[in-house]
Amino acid sequence: MSTGITAASPQGLELIKRFQGLSLEKYRDAQGLWLIGYGHLIRDRERFDAGISHAQAEALFQRDTQDYQQLICQCVNVPLGQQQFDALLSLAFSLGPEGLQRSAIVQAINREDFRAALAEWQREGQQQNSLALQRQAESALFQHDMR
């Protein structure tokens, strides 16, 4: 990534927590994937059959946040403003690592075509009603740094 923001703001982290929600018990998402905490994808080697504590959810969130921040820095090659980075981090939490890397949003950002990125963001929100409010909030946040 070029120079620019490389870490989430406290406000960005709160936005992610608000949209991901907190579950101390594991659950399946709309795609059938097992999640726990603040949208933590349960990997094959992880076992959370007895649930987790709030402190464990926070620790998982911190680890996931670090992993996604690194991923954004690897797959985005243009400088980002703080709100843009926060919006992409929120997107990463719901798309997952592979989804983020393949995302048309990221591809448009790397072409420095931010208008196309916003259009893709809105299209994603229309395709999945359950994510419409989250995608609207993310795209509005991303757009804030374009002014």
Question: Could you please report the per-residue DSSP string of 89-111?
Answer: HHHHHHHHHHHHHH-HHHHHHHT
- Residue spans of the domains in the chain: they are 10-144
- Exposure string over 61-74, b if 16+ CB within 10 A, otherwise e: beebbeebbebbbe
Q: What is the mean pLDDT of the chain?
A: 91
E strand segments, 15-142: 23-28, 34-37, 40-41
pTM: 0.90
Predicted confidence at residue 91, as pLDDT, reads 94
Q: What fold does the segment set 10-144 form as a domain? A: Lysozyme (1.10.530)
84 and 145 Cβ atoms separated by less than 8 Å: yes
pLDDT digits (tens, 9 = 90+) for 73-87: 999 999 999 999 999
With a cut of 70, which residues of the chain have pLDDT below it?
Answer: 1-3, 147
